[in-house]
Amino acid sequence: MRRSISPSTIMNPDVLVVGGGPVGLATAIAVRLEGLSATVVERRLPPVEKACGEGIMPGGVTLLKKLGVNLPAGGSFRFRGILYQEGHISTRAHFQGLPGIGIRRTTLHNALVQRAKELGVHFLWGRQLRELLPTGARLSDGMVRSRWTVAADGLNSGIRRTLGLDGPIRRQRVGLRRHYRIAPWSDLVEVSFTDGCQAYVTPVAPDQICVVVLTDNPRQGFDRLLSRFPLLAHRLQGIRQVSEEQGGASVFRGARGVVRGRVALVGDAAVSVDAITGEGVSLGLHQAVALARSLGRGGLDEYARAHAGIMGATIRMTRLMLALDRRPRLRRLALRTLQRWPGLFSNLLGIHTRELSLAQFGARLIRLDRLGRTHT
């Protein structure tokens, strides 16, 4: 692929984005919409692939629309909610507004690149960051001078480490992913639980699903782990695989801050949550928009405050879900409770997807309690 810019060119954007994944690209797009210039540096060539669950929650879908990102017809699938199941226990909840979207990572990446090009974002594909400088960055083949630098370089962010902002790893697992050529049998993302392992099924196209298995013990391999979910394994028996098995880290890790001087962290470089939440891309989109808004107003202070608000509820949900993963009896009790009270699950999902505030949730709990008393 031909590179966008001559290697010898010294560029001077307002914002240098290091990392050309979905969150880095969304940041560059949002920055351009704020009237600032942006350059994206990425060591790989597009489309940039990564093993993930490939579901975008409703809030993320709304932000993609606001950013003007057009997803190709037939290249995605709308899902209406979430189903949790373990053995004979099953409970589901639907989103209260817009649907979420399942989409192959490469398809999403291509759409983001196209939108960024339309807005005049510059790309430096196949370049590596060599040194972070007070006035920009030294790359593998030249320099870029910028007013601000955005670290969108992922879980193992070199910029975060250089700035001394590495936070502790609270939990680390592995996700193994495959795609299958089969029409989705549900308009829900299905999450199946068993001890020490979860399986996710996300519809990503009218004729394709994404299956991810999350585990602490990836050495068992995808097929052996899948066999721990008999109903799903039976359903997929004989179905054509359309991608090779791919693995990726699922890490719950924070940073000691998301702003240092003229540098901001965004996406997994800032805070990564376990894939059990299904919120990775959506959270990154919220951060990208908040960061661009802050830069548009002349600095990074506003972003530092906004980031805490964006991440708070999801961090609490991550802790809860990971605790349930290690406590089978408590997990099954929780699933039975949600099965018995589907309205509770719907409201909890609303908080998780930011469709419902805590105040609204409290009011609905009171109504549910009153309704329960009238029927006893």
pLDDT in tens, 127-185: 999 999 999 999 988 899 999 999 999 999 999 999 999 999 999 999 999 999 999 99
Q: With respect to residue 156, please indicate whether it lies within any of the assigned structural domains.
A: yes
Are the C-beta atoms of residues 243 and 176 closer than 8 Å to each other? no
Tell me which residue of 32, 52, 28, 56 sits closest to 42, measured CA to CA.
28
| Measured CA distances, 252 to 129, 277, 326 (Å) | 25, 11, 15
pLDDT tens for residues 327-363?
999 999 999 999 998 888 888 888 877 776 555 555 5
State the CATH number of the domain containing residue 306.
Answer: 3.50.50.60
Q: Both 108 and 48 in a single domain?
A: yes
For residues 298 and 268, state if they share a domain: yes
Residue 278 per-residue DSSP state: S
Q: Is the pTM of this model over 0.85?
A: yes
Is 126 in the same domain as 52? yes
Position 202 in a domain: no
Residues 346 and 315 in one domain: no
Which sign, positive or negative, has the C-alpha torsion 26, 32, 33, 35? positive
Tell me the sheet residues that pair with 249.
Answer: 174
Domain contains 189: no
45 and 114 both lie in a single domain: yes
What total number of domains does the chain contain? 2
Tokens of 362: 């409290």
- Regarding whether 130 and 33 lie in a shared domain, the answer is yes
Same domain for 109 and 53? yes
Please tell me whether residues 45 and 125 are part of one structural domain.
yes
Q: Which residues span the domain enclosing 347? A: 341-376
